[in-house]
Chain A
Amino acid sequence: MRAIDLQQVSKRFLIHKTREFAVPRLGRKSSHTVEPFWAVRDVSLQVEPGEKVALVGGNGAGKSTLLGIVAGIITETSGKVSRNGRIGALLELGTGFHSDLTGRENIHLNASLLGFRPADVKRELDSIVDFAELKDFLDEPVRTYSSGMIARLGFSVAIHVDPDILIMDEVLSVGDRGFQAKCKEKIADLAGRGRTLLFVSHQMSAVLAMCPRTVWLDKGRVRMDGPSQKVVAAYEGAVTSLPRATSVEVR
């Protein structure tokens, strides 16, 4: 059984122009128009359990929408989506953190939303805090944290949930180099234990290091799907004619 199986999946967003008034004014033609926008079109993608797949593509290629569909946050307009196993969606670090709650309270809230049970949190709490390097700040409100501390805590909670299928959207760019290295190590560790990984990144070095297979999305369609070396080379070849900002990994 496949971990992720997408059959000709499409997603149409309706762009509402001039949404100020839903009720057209009397005697005038309504200026309210709805324009369809296809963010993802006819995408078929099969991922086997334990496979590590990267999604690359320019801005607006539909990468995040596709991750949202796989995660079950966005409902596809047509096509068939099936997933097998517990999904961990790391679409944004520190989701649902509330600035007035303490680190400890936020760990509980965040972990429950990501699929933890009370016993899991109890068991993993020390490990979560150690990994995030926040021992001394655990009972301080998160509003006193730096953005790096929040990102670290968010990543730490998410990674400890230990999902069968880990979905990540460009979250590796947070924290200092040391923490980034730790994150990559943790992800590699997950991958080593047979977890499936679907991962969006603009950092081609991370793609090449972590994923043997890469899917290149372009304007909502799959442009290329194959070994990372080949796809990344083709993708980078195609974007060199564009301003370098889209592919460069220097930050």
Chain B
Amino acid sequence: MTAAAPTHDHLYILRNLVAKDFKVRYRNMSLGILWSLVNPLVMMGVLSFVFTVLFPSLDRKHYPLFVLLGLVPYNFFSLSWMTGTGSVAANANLIKRVPFWRELLPVSVVLGNVVHYVIQIALLLVAVVWFVGFNVQWVWIPAIFALQIVFVCGLALLTSSLDVYHRDVRYVVESATIVLFWLCPVFYGVDQIQADLVWIYTLNPISAVIYLLRQICLRGLPPPATTMLKLAGVSFGTLFVGAWVYGRLKKDFADYL
């Protein structure tokens, strides 16, 4: 927005918006942030039961860890994308009253989820060290997460701006996250997919993130350069497209909210 005063401290606004989301989410709850750990653990228990007891064909070493390394990145993706999509419409009062850099809204929602993500990942990595061990390939992990965050920010920018004009978008996103749970290698591995379909999986950043994490944490193997490059390409491409669309659409947000 051209009129956003040059003196605005975007980082300070971002910090305040993230803090707001975080505090509002857990205020008046006795278990607070522990709730963000309950859901993945319950899902891990269920998936482990189904695929090691009921259908042991998918069974592999450290299956609970294997599943968590899929669930945690997937949950971050789906939750941030969904809440990010509604973030502009949900903050109509801000859009209509204060000139500030509009991009901060979806980005702050994604970064708010990153706080949870970091906590979940940290605990998960402790478990990985305990059961599998540490290896030098871990140096790649921050880069992988950073690329995933870039990708999700791009998606959130894209769909949150479209959602202002057509509120149907949030339901499309909601359905997409349900479908993608099955189409991403959350409870199965990329190695179990037919060889001629693997290229699709490596182009999907969420699949790539899960695959790379497991490769590093469970096998101690370095991330393949081609997968990293595809992940980086698709992530920054998505951010570019999302920011471009958002920039085009944000001018008229106030008219449609």
Q: Is A130 close to B, CB under 8 A?
A: no
In the complex formed, the residue of B with least CB distance to A23 is B168
* Binary per-residue interface labels of chain B (145-175) against chain A in the complex, 1 for a CB within 8 Å, 0 otherwise: 0000000000000000000001010000000
A73:B16 contact, CB within 8 angstroms: no
In the complex formed, the residue of A with least CB distance to B165 is A22
A98:B12 contact, CB within 8 angstroms: no
With A89-B98, A96-B93, A100-B24: A105-B19 Cβ-Cβ less than 8 Å:
yes
Q: By DSSP majority rule, is chain A's interface helix, strand, loop, or mixed? A: loop
Q: Is A118 close to B, CB under 8 A?
A: yes
Residues of A within 8 A of B3 (CB): 71-73, 83, 87
Residues of B within 8 A of A68 (CB): 96, 254
Residues of B within 8 A of A108 (CB): 16
Residues of A within 8 A of B15 (CB): 112
A74:B254 contact, CB within 8 angstroms: yes
What CA separation (Å) do A115 and B9 show in the bound complex?
Answer: 7
In the complex formed, the residue of B with least CB distance to A16 is B256
CB distance from B172 to the nearest CB of A (A): 13
**Interface residues on chain A, number (Cβ under 8 Å):** 32
With A86-B5, A100-B23, A118-B9: A109-B16 Cβ-Cβ less than 8 Å:
yes
B23:A95 contact, CB within 8 angstroms: no
* Binary per-residue interface labels of chain B (217-254) against chain A in the complex, 1 for a CB within 8 Å, 0 otherwise: 00000000000000000000000000000000001101
Tell me how many residue pairs across A and B have CB atoms closer than 8 Å: 90
Q: Is A113 close to B, CB under 8 A?
A: yes
> Which residues, 1 to 16 on B, are CB-close (under 8 Å) to A?
1-9, 12-13, 15-16
Q: Is B20 close to A, CB under 8 A?
A: yes
Which residue in A73, A101, A105 is a CB contact (below 8 Å) of B98?
Answer: A73
What CA separation (Å) do A101 and B19 show in the bound complex?
Answer: 10
* Binary per-residue interface labels of chain A (1-30) against chain B in the complex, 1 for a CB within 8 Å, 0 otherwise: 000000000000110000000100000000
* Binary per-residue interface labels of chain A (37-74) against chain B in the complex, 1 for a CB within 8 Å, 0 otherwise: 00000000000000000000000000000001001111
Q: Is A92 close to B, CB under 8 A?
A: yes
Which residue in A14, A22, A83 is a CB contact (below 8 Å) of B166?
Answer: A22
What CA separation (Å) do A116 and B168 show in the bound complex?
Answer: 36
By Cβ-Cβ distance, the 4 closest A-B pairs, closest first, are A72-B3, A75-B251, A72-B99, A95-B97
7 residue pairs of the A-B complex, CB under 8 angstroms, read A72-B3, A75-B252, A86-B7, A91-B97, A95-B98, A112-B15, A112-B16
